Amino acid sequence: MNDTISGLISLLFCLAPFCAGALVIGGVGFLIIRTIRHQRNPLTAGQVNARSDALKSQVRQMAGQLRPWTADSLTDLSTDWDATWSKWGRDLDARGTIPSLSRPKEAAYIAFALHVRGAFEPDGILHACTTQHAFAYRLSQRGVDIRVDDSSLGRIQPDGQLLDVESKIIGEAKRPGGLPALFQIGSAAILRDQRERSYPLILDGKIMGEIANPSIQMLNAIDLKKKNPPAAIQHIETRAEREKLWLLALAILQVAGYNLLESIWTN
């Protein structure tokens, strides 16, 4: 009898590590599956509001270090960005700045922070600011709603049409289609991206300027090998403040939103 009990105890001690390992593996697997299922769902209204408040706070903290926005800043805004980020599954959090084209090593023009779910059909929130204006973007499958200084500027439809606050079509800004591809051959990285490098903003039938569509950043390239970035806004054809706001709002979305997302998810 004693030998039987001793044998059972010895067997339990032998099996204990395997049982513990199985529980850990099972628990990790459960969390991964739960996360994947959770992240397939769009953000809820409660999640959007909570994230939006947090992102707005982050941008405000960075705002005091920005370069003053002047009348010449619109043509001096770079398509480069400097950011830190973290990824968990399909969720991405990032914060950073967009510098001056002429003085990239000095204080930046724009601070931004975002939370996005999904790579190329993003669902999320982007906040950004200059020293003059604050921008808020709600990205979803129905397009991008844009607010400037807590007032609605309008919405970008998925097909690039622009709507005003009354949902009337006022123009278009159609981003070039397609996606970049990065190939790793030995120690060399080869980028294939044949998209047009800019697209026009058209309001009331007139071209107001062009928004740069830069290629993705090569995140592992050293500074000496990086190409000089183009200006974010080119060939400006307007002096109206509201039209300039549209140009700036779209340029921020392109650089801090689409280009950053494509760069991080492609590299």
Kindly report the pTM of this predicted structure: 0.84
The half-sphere exposure of 105 on its side-chain side, counting CA atoms within 13 A, is 1
The half-sphere exposure of 92 on its side-chain side, counting CA atoms within 13 A, is 28
Residue pair 212/197 in contact by the 8 Å Cβ criterion? yes
Average the pLDDT over 162-172 and give the result. Answer: 97
- Cα(165)–Cα(151) distance, integer angstroms: 9
Query: How much is the pLDDT for 228?
Result: 86
At residue 16 the predicted structure's pLDDT band, cuts being 50, 70 and 90, is low
| Tokens linked to 235 | 């060939």
- Rounded to the nearest integer, the mean pLDDT of the chain is 87
Average the pLDDT over 229-247 and give the result. Answer: 96
pLDDT tens figures, 201-219: 999 999 999 999 999 988 8
Q: For tokens 């183009």, what's the residue?
A: 230
Q: Is the pLDDT of residue 115 over 60?
A: yes
Which residues have C-beta within 8 Å of that of residue 207, sequence separation ≥ 6?
200, 201, 235, 237
pLDDT tens figures, 46-101: 999 999 999 999 999 999 999 999 999 999 999 999 999 999 999 999 999 999 99
At residue 27 the predicted structure's pLDDT band, cuts being 50, 70 and 90, is very low
Which residues have C-beta within 8 Å of that of residue 69, sequence separation ≥ 6?
109, 130, 131, 132, 133
Query: How much is the pLDDT for 87?
Result: 94
Q: Is the pLDDT of residue 127 over 70?
A: yes
Average the pLDDT over 243-247 and give the result. Answer: 97
Query: How much is the pLDDT for 183?
Result: 83
Query: How much is the pLDDT for 37?
Result: 43
| Tokens linked to 164 | 């005003």
Residue pair 213/195 in contact by the 8 Å Cβ criterion? yes
